[in-house]
Amino acid sequence: MFTVLPLPAFNDNYIWMLTSADHPGMVVVDPGDADVVIKAVNDSSIPLVAILLTHHHPDHTGGVKQLVDLFSVPVYGSANSPFKEISQPLTDGMQISILGKALVIKEIPGHTLDHISYYLADETSQIFCGDTLFLAGCGRLFEGSPQQMLSNMDYFKTLPLNTQVYCTHEYSLANLAFAHAVEPTNADISNTIVRCEELRSRNLPTLPSSIGQELKINPFMRAEICDVQNAASNHTKSNINNQLDAFTAIREWKNSF
């Protein structure tokens, strides 16, 4: 597995810095701010060797051009991306070698249509999923459909329970507040709120999460659960008894929560 360090940026972004004990260099995921990465390179004396992008939004791509101009590194990203600085276009199912490790590319449209994730299968697996799967949440549907995002949740459910989930925003407490509104008697959610509040009180990241944790606390990963469907029914004042309708209802509910 990679050694992963968070490089905080803007108000709540994390740029993930990847290194490997048996391979020189660092890779960064979604560098919205070049200055943060340049400081990390200078402070660590580890050269930047590649950039991974999950989608085209400026808070994930804003530092790319400056970093490429400085370090002449390859930029990996979706072949469908409107972002023009990608030199290594990727499509679903491709495998790339990063710091000597194999990452599998999965197209996960919904938040944006060009969104992809990077999955490392290892003794402890890791996935870098941008703005699609958050701790106790999922991304807003700016470009895609509820069905697309639900399909992404189904994909994440196929990963090993110990897979470390690296999203790119510190949204955990807000997401947990919503999850608690959906499932107020879910003890796992209540316990995770306590743990995350303690971490944030020390200005520490609540991430990574894990697939196993998300299956217990994330309403968007639990849309087949009766309690979630009942909450969706109560909120919409309609009869909801299937996964897609429940997911759609709680995603719309979260937008105004």
Q: Mean of the pLDDT values across residues 99-121?
A: 98
Domains of the chain in start order, with CATH, are 3-255 (3.60.15.10)
pLDDT band at 32 (very low <50, low <70, confident <90, very high): very high
Q: How far apart are CA 13 and CA 30, in angstroms?
A: 9
Q: What is the pTM of this model?
A: 0.97
Amino acid at 164: Q
Give CA 196 to chain center in angstroms: 17
Q: How far apart are CA 12 and CA 33, in angstroms?
A: 12
- Contact between 60 and 32 under an 8 Å Cβ cutoff? The reply is yes
For 144-191, the pLDDT digits (tens) are 999 999 999 999 999 999 999 999 999 999 999 999 999 999 999 999
Q: What percent of the chain has pLDDT over 90?
A: 100
Cα 147 to Cα 70, 151, 232, distances in angstroms: 41, 6, 16
Q: How far apart are CA 189 and CA 62, in angstroms?
A: 34
Adjacent-strand bridge partners of 8: 14
Q: Which two tokens stand for residue 126?
A: 């890791």
- If you ran DSSP here, which 8-state letter would residue 111 be given? S
